[in-house]
Structure 1
Amino acid sequence: MADPFDGRDDEVGEASTGGRPPSTDPTTLARDLLERVRRGESADGHLRALADLSRADLEPLRNDPRAALAFWLNAYNAAAQLLLERNPELFDSRWRFFRAEALAVAGVGLSLDDVEHGILRGARSKYGLGYLPRLSRSGLPKAYRLEPDPRIHFALNCGAASCPLIRPYDPETVDAALDRATRTHLETTVDYDPERDRVRVPRYCLWFLGDFGGRSGLYEFLREFDRLPEGARPSLRFRDYDWTKTPRMFA
């Protein structure tokens, strides 16, 4: 299988770009930040560049959902890995870990919860099975919020053993890449037993059932990714989630 990070060596890091500063294009910057984290290289310059972006620099994130999706997926995954590396004790309390400031974008400090639930999930609460609004604010205006896409749950990695593998995302190919990431994760985490008429699915499918469109939407989602035959509506079983700290799960 080809390395999804291949082909970017000429764009990452000040050392590999002849000392040039990080890009001010947000999607390139977040992608390169993730690459530096994967390589174990210093990410401080890229973190500062993200914090120093202007609201004008973020215009692609307001006007192009694909650019926004790629940006926030890469930013989340990079920030989570850096949080695990620099403040590993936070993971002992998930409440603290997900609410700690993980990165700043255009001068706004953001937690992992802010990115996932405030932006990627369109200000929906992490509680209430994905149906309730999120009351706390992310610090960025509503214009940055995206419509919930259930595939993000198979792309975001917070450092737990049950998390999906970390992959890079680009605006031009983000839909196809999310499909591949989702399919790959479902192939190893969904078990359909036609004799018992039941199916075991990842815990995300319960936690964020509303993102999938409820039970009917979840069945359709599983059929779309070839985990259920047409017309099947088996009883649902949800896998336990393994919260063992497991950093650096790069594809």
Structure 2
Amino acid sequence: MGRSTEQTASSEAKIAGSPTTFAQDLLVACKRGDATNRYRAALAEATDADLSQVREDRRTGLAFWLNCYNAGTQLLLAERPSLYESPLRFVRFFSAPAVTVGGASLPLDRIENGILRGGRSKYGLGYVPKIYVTTFERRYRLDECDPRIHFALNCGAESCPAIRAYEPDRVDEQLDVATGSYLDSTVEYDEDAGVVLVPRVFLWFRGDFGDGSEIREFLRAYDTIPDSATPKIRYRSWDWTRADGKFVE
């Protein structure tokens, strides 16, 4: 067998591990510019039994789907960049197949809104349930939406947070770090004017964060406004400039 044949056979051979590991490895391969086919194939071929921890354990599900989403974004940007540049980005890019898991071809919208956000629509400021929910989404969606996901998901825009590989046993700690870091770099509090400028995700997904008092409480928890402050909330514009490969160093 020649060297090229051996390499092909090796790359196509099944790899050992869990779906959680495959999702992490896929994301790392995207960061490094390495081949991704074997990790994508392993996720696509995962059985329902293989994915039991993703379904049954909250931390495993959070880490897994965050990694799948962020890897899917990088794959779409590299392989189908015209979808992002299209004036119809919100339909074409977010609805295009990004990654296949357990035989289900999943767009970014389905991972974020159908699974991570527990079946909520991206319209209606996050208060409205999704109208069309697939059987796969119902089986794998998280019971509750953790609002910190909005500071971990990267859809390819300049305003998006930096990407990191999430691990089930550390995902809560990692999400706190990601949230604190993003808020530190984007929130502006003007004590004299009594105004706080916050990322636009607080408006787009207000249903995930709550009303103004709950948003302020969220900001206080990450030390971005003083405990006694009750500023008016204003929202930043979103920079949709394409920004590939925005990984935490």
TM-score by length of 1: 0.90
Tell me which residue corresponds to 2:56: 63
| 1:175-221 per-position Cα deviation (integer Å, ceiling 9, x unaligned) | 00000000000001000111100000000010001101222221110
Following superposition of structure 1 onto structure 2, how do residues 17-96 of structure 1 map, counting pairs within 5 Å?
21-93=14-86, 94-96=90-92
1:137 positional shift:
1.9
Q: Which amino acid aligns with 1:137?
A: V
How many angstroms apart in 2 are the aligned matches of 1:114 and 1:243? 20
Tell me which residue corresponds to 1:134: 130
Tell me which residue corresponds to 2:110: 114
CA RMSD, aligned part only?
1.8
Tell whether the 8 Å contact from 2:114 to 2:137 is kept in structure 1 after alignment.
Answer: no
Q: In structure 2, which of residues 186, 191, 195 is the aligned counterpart of residue 194 of structure 1?
A: 191
Provide the secondary structure at the position in 2 that maps to 1:233: coil
Question: How many equivalent residue pairs?
Answer: 237
Provide the secondary structure at the position in 2 that maps to 1:133: coil
Provide the secondary structure at the position in 2 that maps to 1:109: strand
**Cα gap change, 1:113 to 1:216, in 2 (>3 Å):** same
1:228 positional shift:
1.2
**Cα gap change, 1:19 to 1:113, in 2 (>3 Å):** closer
Provide the secondary structure at the position in 1 that maps to 2:119: coil
Provide the secondary structure at the position in 2 that maps to 1:140: helix
How many angstroms apart in 2 are the aligned matches of 1:139 and 1:41? 33
Instruction: Provide structure 1 residue ranges, at least 5 long, that are not aligned to the other structure.
Output: 1-13
How many angstroms apart in 1 are the aligned matches of 2:161 and 2:137? 29
Tell me which residue corresponds to 2:234: 237
Instruction: Choose 1 or 2 for highest CA Rg.
Output: 2
TM-score by length of 2: 0.91
Q: Which is worse superposed, 71-80 or 20-29?
A: 20-29
1:148 aligns to 2:145 (yes or no): yes
| 1:57-87 per-position Cα deviation (integer Å, ceiling 9, x unaligned) | 1100111100000000001101100000000
How many angstroms apart in 1 are the aligned matches of 2:79 and 2:13? 26
Instruction: Provide structure 2 residue ranges, at least 5 long, that are not aligned to the other structure.
Output: 1-6
**Cα gap change, 1:247 to 1:127, in 2 (>3 Å):** same
Tell me which residue corresponds to 1:8: none
1:159 positional shift:
0.6
1:124 positional shift:
0.4
Question: Identical aligned pairs, as a percentage?
Answer: 50
How many angstroms apart in 2 are the aligned matches of 1:197 and 1:72? 38
Tell me which residue corresponds to 1:7: none
1:18 positional shift:
10
Q: In structure 2, which of residues 196, 202, 205 is the aligned counterpart of residue 208 of structure 1?
A: 205
